[in-house]
């Protein structure tokens, strides 16, 4: 991801890791993902994946069978606050990951609207492990605007947290 980001930044693009890949990062592998989900400019990132890293397009994904990796770019815009994005430095490389509050909102949406127990579990796990660092005011505002405040409050109450 750091190498892809480095190439993308040369073209003025900052791909942001989202979805299951971000959950994998924030839960330190507790919930593993076997692909990389990004938001960013599909055209720019796709060209880099194909021309620099030998990925082949396959529907909504780019696949490199040699290294066993699939990349999907589900959206061009981040559903959340860019100021909350986590920047991971690996040597001189950057990797950008959706902020954990926005990822929790994403998982709670899937929990409620898709009735996905896995997403419920992931949201609850992240709320618990990041409870000391969560911006509850921001979380509550986003949850209210997305119609998922009740489930957020339920999970926060379980851990004796504000909200």
Q: Tens of pLDDT along 106-139? A: 999 999 999 999 999 999 999 999 999 999 999 9
Residue 163 pLDDT: 54
How crowded is the C-beta side of 102, counted as CA atoms within 13 Å? 18
Q: Distance between alpha carbon 33 and the CA centroid of its chain, in Å?
A: 11
To which H or E segment does residue 87 belong?
strand 86-90
Locate 119 and state its tokens. 């997403």
User: Full-prediction pTM beyond 0.75?
Assistant: yes
Backbone phi and psi for residue 93, each to the nearest 5 degrees, phi listed first? -105, 150
pLDDT-derived band at 33, boundaries 50, 70, 90? very high
Residue 161 pLDDT: 64
Residue 87 forms beta bridges with which residues? 96
- pLDDT over 90 for what percent of the chain? 94
Average pLDDT over residues 77-97: 97
CA angle, 81 then 31 then 58, to 5°: 75
Q: How far apart are the first and last CA of the chain?
A: 34
Instruction: Report the C-alpha gap between 37 and 21 in whole angstroms.
Output: 6
DSSP-H helix ranges across the chain: 2-10, 19-26, 42-51, 100-113, 117-129, 136-146, 149-158
Instruction: Report the C-alpha gap between 22 and 99 in whole angstroms.
Output: 9
């Amino acid at each position: 991801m750091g190498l892809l980001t480095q190439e993308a930044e040369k073209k003025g693009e900052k791909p942001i890791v989202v979805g299951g890949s971000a959950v994998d990062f924030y839960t330190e592998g507790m919930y593993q993902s076997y692909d990389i989900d990004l938001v960013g400019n599909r055209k720019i990132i796709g060209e880099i994946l194909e021309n620099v890293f030998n990925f082949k397009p396959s529907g909504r994904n780019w696949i490199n069978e040699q290294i066993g990796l699939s990349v999907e770019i589900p959206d061009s815009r981040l559903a959340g606050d860019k100021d909350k994005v986590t920047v991971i430095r690996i040597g001189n490389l950057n990797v950008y990951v959706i902020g954990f509050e926005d990822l929790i909102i994403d998982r709670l949406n899937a929990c409620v609207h898709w009735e996905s127990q896995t997403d419920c579990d992931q949201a609850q796990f992240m709320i618990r492990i990041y409870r000391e660092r969560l911006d509850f005011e921001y979380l509550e505002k986003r949850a209210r605007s997305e119609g998922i405040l009740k489930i957020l409050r339920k999970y926060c109450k379980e851990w004796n947290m504000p909200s």
